[in-house]
Structure 1
Amino acid sequence: MTVLKIAIAGAGGRMGRILIEAIAEAPDATLAGALDVAGAPGIGQDAAAFLGKPAGVPIAVELAEGLAGADYLIDFTRPEGTLRHLAYCAEHGIKMIIGTTGFDAAGKAAIAAAAEKTAIMLAPNMSVGVNVTLKLLELAAKSLSEGYDIEIIEAHHRYKVDAPSGTALKMGEVVADALGRDLKDCAVYGREGVTGERDPSTIGFATVRGGDIVGDHTVLFAGIGERIEISHKSSSRVTYAHGALRAARFLADKANGLYDMQDVLALKR
């Protein structure tokens, strides 16, 4: 059995620890590196010490140290950090599983360029359930293309720094593509005051931030006399970790290329 040698970015954070625990429980994966920003708690300490089962992998700041033994990097950090890691991974042939959200057009272009040198799986949400939901949204949008107003409502914890969420935006992109629209031209991200009647060609977004909500997403198709709601609610970040490991397994035989979770789950036609 091939063992996946995986490094974790943001190893001292909440998601980083969940990923480290998932790797410790996986029979085909091992923790091979750990990264975090300078000044973060735990720098220099064993990345798995919190489990009571040290892995012999200290949390490093320098990329060369933190990625020396890794073939994969799982990164759920911030765009600026991920792009720094991206350049190093592309240069050294380290495969990446990127769950970071909030990339601008230049960041997305950099990821696409790096994918010519190494294999990258980029997804705003790695939950298997969310990605099945995206497939359901594609079907629903095609069937409800006329006479239904579309709104996307998402809720996350108080610490989330970007809005709408990357998952909500991905849902909007899937719906817009299914309708033959460009989300950039039809998205409405806020309403206030006298807005006039709703333009039926738009896709609206509403954002909620509070407490410890892991992630709730609902796409509402509102027609006359009925409405359809397709929802996904996360109660634990563990689903993201399991999806990330599934993505690493998918990339095992890929030398380069840019993929998403729809590829991993074989949901593309």
Structure 2
Amino acid sequence: MQKIINYQPQPMNRLLLGTLPLLVVLVVYLVASDARLAANSADKLLPGFNAMGDAIMRMAFTPSPRTGEYLLWADTCASLARLLMGTALSALLALVFGLFCGALPVVRAFLSPLITVIALVPPLAILPILFICFGLGELAKVVLIIIGITPFIVRDLQLHVMSIPEEQLVKAQTLGGHSGQILWRVVLPQLLPRLMDSVRLSLSSAWLFLIAAEAISATDGLGYRIFLMRRYMAMDVILPYVAWITLLAFALDFALRFINRRCFPWYYAK
């Protein structure tokens, strides 16, 4: 009899197993919502799908009477612009620091303690400082994302570089490669796919910092809208917004994984 630890589900079985918990959550919500609405038709805590559908139509396909914008799409564009800018800058900074800290012991000895200290500071605790230093505009929100996820990516890349077999570096030096060539031709190609994976893993934290910043100081964005609707207990708007953020996060994760597999197939063949 095959041990369960050795069982590898087929693709179709894996899909069914992954879908089952989601269906259970959906059924539980529907049952709880029907029970609450049967007891009180004006209940706002667990709105029915009809109410959420009406809210989606109102937010996504009906222009705002005040601004004329389609609020869901305007909020999505604002949040994605902040998220992508912060994540892209974080990836660039992390690549530079991770490469040099991992490959050059003198740089590691100089910068690693500072990076460790920054990584241990709760980013949300310094959010008021960022608003004081950079104002209440877009810059503070982007900087919060950078401070929040860059140290994690740097430390992950540094460890990955340090795990590269020393034999590769010795062979490169034997063939006459100087430090710059070794960094560019040996270390960097092995670091890029790891960078993509690290960015993927840090996206959830980036979303957290973005939503927190938008909730405190913003006039648009997905986080701003959620916390604005909280004042009116508009769960028919909040829940679709949360589901939309989850869908966007899944799409970004899938896109990064797809790009990584297409650009660096050898990384996944290990």
| Relative contact order higher in (CA < 8 Å, ≥ 6 apart) | 2
- Using the size of structure 1 for normalisation, the TM-score is 0.24
| TM-score, normalising length: structure 2 | 0.24
**CA radius of gyration, larger in:** 2
Q: Which has the higher helix share?
A: 2
